Amino acid sequence: MRKFIKKILYYFLNVVEQRKEVILSGFSRGLQNVTFEGKNAVPDGCNFSGKIKIGYATTLGYRNLLGGTISIGKYCQLGVDVALHATNHPISYMTTYINQNLFQGDLKQLKEENTITIGHDVWIGHGVIIVGNVTIGNGAILAAGSVITKDVAPYSIVAGIPAKEVRKRFSETIIQEIETLQWWDKSEQELEKIKPLFFKDFSNRHSIYE
């Protein structure tokens, strides 16, 4: 009976809410720290702290954790249990301990503050962790379980701990053509005109216009 009541309460408390084209599924914290550009989705259990910008149509995964100064571009997808840590504890001082229980939290000023910048159309797989001062290029793919500690080049696939480049997704010519096209900045009407490009397999092509 208690389990049944708990399920009923959970169902009614976890009501999907929509704010200015942003879908919020509930049970997330720190939403006041986020600037959304619209058509975003935030599922259960996400946690935000710091100063965070999430680009148009970018969607998050369950239990994402974003802390610090973070900028995510348009049309990105984050998997489940992704963590972005732009801040870090001090490592060259007496202690790494910076909470209220020591000197009333005065040591918080020693916290390392970095910036994480993620480009457009980036796929971040399940369980990826990004730490430190990192820039992720447009179109990159971060494989599930990777730990990202260094910059990731545009349209590259990285994997591992720490993550290393596996390969580029496309030829340099195609990468340059997509970067020049900047489809993520186009209106829905403009995207409709170039829709056929999105259905092409670029595996054995030298140009997106072939």
Residue with tokens 């159309």: 121
Which of 85, 89, 120, 206 does the annotation list as catalytic? 89
Residue 161 to residue 166: CA distance in whole angstroms: 13
Q: Give yes or no: 89 in active site.
A: yes
Locate 148 and state its tokens: 């990202």
Residue 26 to residue 37: CA distance in whole angstroms: 19
Locate 197 and state its tokens: 């490009």
Sheet of 164-168, strand order: 77-78, 123-124, 141-142, 156-159, 164-168
Catalytic residues: 89
